[in-house]
Amino acid sequence: MFVAPGVRWVTRPARKVARAEWSEFGFLGSRSVARQRRGVRVLPLHRAVRMMAPSQNSGNVRKVAEDMLYVSEPNPMYFGNPSNENMSSNPRWTNANWLKSRFHFSFAEYMSRSNSNFGVLRVMNDDLVQPARGFGSHPHRNMEICTFVVDGELTHQDSMGTAETLGPNSIQFMTAGTGVVHAERNMSPEEPLRFIQMWIVPRRSGLEPNYGSMRGDKCNWAPNTWQHLVSDVERKDAATPVQINQDANVFVAQVESGCSVPLRIEDDRQAYFLQVRGSVAIQNTASAASAVLKQHEAAELEGALDLSVVAQGEDGALCLVVEMSRDGSSRF
């Protein structure tokens, strides 16, 4: 760990909780179930957010190392799946359990009052689903849910009549609003599915349910450039394929080996940076500070910051950023 002007790197292990129970909002810690059935959030934001004093520097970068993430591998019967297959007899499986999910925030059986959200970002789950497995029908309400497909194909069905299958680089959104039931499955008998699911708290509850998506095979992304995929529906100066009911943005960049992309976080803004694939060096252009993020790792970014994101290794890197208004929240 080191401290340099304008950048602060901090790590701290996460806390695990064993007891859990299924509810309409997911597999939740048992102490939160009664509270969750009465509302949307496992932990109310006004209680879960730990405020930080404004930085004296230009901004802060706080690294979230991979060992800080909670890894969940639930029993397949909880989601209507058959028993796991034997990896030795089925080489198409890349993990012993049907699901391996990395939770960035308090979710399901992982409960942490100090790590329940980052601003309006309530959930970020990095899910790996094995062939012919998935999440059976389950309800949501009063949440903006965005899903980015990394590998494989995600098949979505919901109570609004939507049914579609999305491949890599696709993004979908669902305004759960007054209530919606949906299922997410990997229908492929051969290929695993990996996707990033983000839950963003809407600016108001009781919205009309809605769904939309952008197919990854319909876009032609330029490398080494941030692609603006999600923006605020009330923002008139952004033409993005997905718009949600909150002041938040999602950007994705495919960075070629040895190349870089600039990243600016304004003074009144913050962002959660996820290293989806490969590794990068995040460099502060105002100082000599830098650090490497490898696959699955993340960073809390608090403006004002001017950064350079440099891809490491021969295969380049895939990065995802959720940007929002700054409120001082942090797990640290």
Residues 98-117 have pLDDT tens digits of: 999 999 999 999 999 999 99
How far, in Å, CA of 319 to CA of 131, rounded? 25
Domain boundaries, the chain: 3-325
In this structure, the dihedral spanned by the alpha carbons of residues 85, 87, 92 and 96, taken in order and rounded to 10 degrees, is: 70
The pLDDT of residue 248 is above 80: yes
DSSP character at residue 118 = B
User: Domain 3-325 in CATH: superfamily?
Assistant: Jelly Rolls (2.60.120.10)
The pLDDT of residue 260 is above 90: yes
Q: Which of 12-26, 163-177, 257-271 has the lowest mean pLDDT?
A: 12-26
What is the phi/psi pair of residue 240, to 5°?
Answer: -115, 155
Residue 17 pLDDT level (bands cut at 50, 70, 90)? very low
Mean pLDDT of the chain: 85
Q: Answer positive or negative: Cα dihedral of 97, 99, 101, 107.
A: negative
Q: What is the pLDDT of residues 204-220, one digit of tens each?
A: 999 999 999 999 988 88
What pLDDT does residue 287 have?
A: 84
The pLDDT of residue 50 is above 80: no
What pLDDT does residue 238 have?
A: 87
What pLDDT does residue 286 have?
A: 85
Residue 58 pLDDT level (bands cut at 50, 70, 90)? low
pTM equals 0.83
What pLDDT does residue 56 have?
A: 35
Q: Contact, 180 vs 210, CB < 8 A?
A: no
User: 37 or 165, which is more confident?
Assistant: 165
Shortest CA distance to 98 belongs to which of 109, 84, 110, 108? Answer: 84
Q: Which of 202-216, 238-252, 280-294, 296-310 has the lowest mean pLDDT?
A: 280-294
The pLDDT of 284-304, averaged and rounded, is 92
Q: What is the pLDDT of residues 26-49, one digit of tens each?
A: 333 333 333 333 333 333 323 222
Q: Which residues contact 130 (CB under 8 A, 6 or more apart)?
A: 84, 85, 93, 94, 95, 97, 98, 99, 186, 192
What pLDDT does residue 59 have?
A: 82
Q: Which of 22-36, 89-103, 211-225, 238-252 has the lowest mean pLDDT?
A: 22-36
Shortest CA distance to 265 belongs to which of 308, 233, 303, 313? Answer: 303
Residue 197 pLDDT level (bands cut at 50, 70, 90)? very high
Residue 236 pLDDT level (bands cut at 50, 70, 90)? confident
